Chain A
Amino acid sequence: ETGVTQTPRHLVMGMTNKKSLKCEQHLGHNAMYWYKQSAKKPLELMFVYNFKEQTENNSVPSRFSPECPNSSHLFLHLHTLQPEDSALYLCASRGDQGNSPLHFGNGTRLTVT
């Protein structure tokens, strides 16, 4: 148990669907991250939020829309996805100190059909 909870664990959606991924942490962390992990590729940073403000968008297509209503919750809204967006989406959080490790959730396995 890492303290970061992601739901759902698995999601299958069509290209015209709209769905949302949810991430929740009660570790008191103010930084939250979305990462994408495709098969045989390193983790790719998608978005960073610090104190609810988006501080980084790593050239992510607009069909992925993040939302951070408070420091404990992070969402990733999905619409009109492509099959190549199928991947494991991981949420992480981190404390404010420079030597704080990342805490990852278990990820959402997304399949776009």
Chain B
Amino acid sequence: KNEVEQSPQNLTAQEGEFITINCSYSVGISALHWLQQHPGGGIVSLFMLSSGKKKHGRLIATINIQEKHSSLHITASHPRDSAVYICAVQTSGSRLTFGEGTQLTVNP
């Protein structure tokens, strides 16, 4: 069992829908990262958070340290949001452990 579990593995939505991707972890962490990977392979850091909630544009990330759970929400989804979304937890020092990713497809 991975230390970081994401759900769902695949998600298909219609443009405009509200999307939620979940991440659960089993270890103590100092921070949690949400990353976006486009088909070309490049990865962009979306959020780094250790408590509460962060918002950037249509993206919202929340974390509950007690429950060892984080969610990434996308409001008013758009086809350009189609990508793989990866959750990663930061443990000792700067080591990151990654989830397998959630493939999101937003249809027009």
Q: Interface residues of B: mostly helix, strand, loop or mixed?
A: strand
Within 8 A of A (CB), among B69-108: 86, 88, 94-101
Residue of B nearest to A50 (CB): B94
Q: A25 vs B94: C-alpha distance in the bound complex, in angstroms?
A: 19
Known: A31-B94, A98-B30, A99-B31. A43 touches B42 (CB 8 A): no
Q: Which residues of A contact B (CB under 8 A)?
A: 2, 31, 37, 40-43, 45, 48, 56, 88, 90, 92, 94, 98-99, 101-107, 109
Known: A37-B41, A40-B100, A43-B86. 12 other contacts (CB 8 A): A42-B98, A43-B98, A88-B41, A94-B94, A98-B30, A98-B94, A102-B33, A102-B96, A104-B42, A104-B43, A104-B45, A107-B41
Jot down 30 A-B pairs with beta carbons below 8 A, ordered by A.
A2-B44, A31-B94, A42-B86, A42-B97, A42-B98, A42-B100, A42-B101, A43-B86, A43-B96, A43-B98, A45-B95, A45-B96, A90-B41, A92-B43, A94-B94, A98-B30, A98-B94, A101-B33, A101-B45, A102-B33, A102-B96, A104-B42, A104-B43, A104-B44, A104-B45, A106-B40, A106-B41, A107-B41, A107-B42, A107-B43
